[in-house]
Amino acid sequence: MAEFDVDLFVIGGGSGGVRAARIAANYGAKVMVAEEYRMGGTCVIRGCVPKKLFVIGSHVHQEIEDAVGFGWSIGQVSFDWATLVANKDKEIARLEGAYTTNVEKSGARIVKTRAVLEDAHTIRLATGETVTAKYILIATGGAPNHGPAVPGIEHVISSNEAFHLKELPKRIVIQGGGYIALEFAGIFAGYGSDVTVVYRGDNILRGFDEDVRKHVRTEMEKRGITIITGSTVVKVDKHGRDFTTHLSNGSSIASDQVMFAIGRHPNVRGLGLEAAGVAINPANGGIQVDGWSKTSVDNIYAVGDVTHRTNLTPVAIREGHAFADTVFGKRPVQVDHATIPTAVFSQPEVGTVGLTEEEARAQYSHVDIYKTDFRPIKATMSGRDTRVLMKLVVDGSSDRVLGCHIVGDAAAETIQAIAIAVKMKATKADFDATVALHPTSAEELVTMRTPTARHVRQAAE
């Protein structure tokens, strides 16, 4: 009789858990996956995929406006929010089915129930059944964090509910200045909502390059989005179907929807972590792991947003795959969390990889900056008042490109390719030696010859 019921028990059917389960099963492991909600996790069900679909749809209004300059005369148009939501739901259901099918095809078993650790090798299911496992992987992801409770917090929605609203809000207040807040600001504004963004910091997109932060804010404000910084929501009053949002600066805003997007927290509660001896990282509230994604308990691992390391779907997938390779494939693989490309599907779009100018100047003695901002070719005919930003951060000593930052159409698509060059430690000379592809915005990345700034850090005497 086997010592354990399964070789691997995965808690969480999101991107990281599913990848780990499939790869481990392919190596011959007996695998069980528990998911209490829907297979696919945050990204597929209530994150990147539905968000990107909403973003794509919200661009159409702008495309119609821009078409006039290219000779198109488009008659009266209308938009139906309910159709958008219904079609999105169909696509998410299809993807959920694909996730489920792929796991089952690998030979892993899915149980649609909550799972809680009883000890380092025992999991109790909500059905009352207990399962023993040689290895356990926790991949429960994260959830929206509303922050400190304020009066009227019960009236506030998160990004989860935003995907299922019965109707498009005419006016919406969004608190937050990161990825999710700005993406939804662009989405709602694109469909015709009056949008106000409230953020406690001095400017949006904290942690991004300063030039990116300024450029995105300017462009969003050009598109009619109101951005209030240095302030927070202190109270939300409800009057019938309307709301009054009171801010710490003493002002108030009327709207018919209020959304908070001020961060996410790891899903660690109620998992039985203490019973199993799994430690929490005091610095970020996520499950503490080492470079192999191993927790404080030798046979228990954790990947993805529940560790609160780098909360991006492709990172969770890479971590889950590396875990399965290491533990079941006997092929030790560590994930390199440096130089990870990322995008913000705000409007305008942001694509970035590597170091910001500020980070580079703190780490390197000589830093060269190559920067341009220009009117894209489409705007010359559409007449739209918009500009693209492109920026390279270069080590002045070695000529290596340390970072690339783009704001404008197709920034994400462009940065994926540039990330390969940055990961390979390409130099500015390599960029310069690459023939430009004309006419594109991206050609600017290989035609910027003169630094716009050079920084030299003086050695301490």
- Helical pair 48-58 and 60-67, crossing angle rounded to 10 deg: 20
- Residue 178 DSSP class: S
Q: How many CB atoms within 10 Å of residue 417?
A: 12
Q: 178: which residues sit within 8 A by CB, 6+ positions away?
A: 204, 205, 206, 261, 262, 263
Question: Are residues 419 and 353 in contact, defined by beta-carbon separation less than 8 angstroms?
Answer: yes
d(CA 212, CA 225): 17
Q: What angle do CA 34, 40, 42 make, to 5 degrees?
A: 105
Q: 216: which residues sit within 8 A by CB, 6+ positions away?
A: 182, 204, 205, 344, 346, 348, 350, 407
The encoded tokens of residue 177 equal 């200045």
Question: Is residue 438 annotated as a catalytic residue, yes or no?
Answer: yes
The encoded tokens of residue 64 equal 């119609």
Helix (H, G, I), strand (E, B), or coil: what is residue 271? coil
**Catalytic site residue from 155, 246, 265, 438:** 438
Q: How many CB atoms within 10 Å of residue 3?
A: 7
The Cα-based distances of 135 to 32, 78, 138, 184, 334 in angstroms read 11, 54, 10, 39, 18
- In terms of DSSP bridges, do strands 401-407 and 350-354 run parallel, antiparallel, or are they unpaired? antiparallel
Catalytic residues: 438
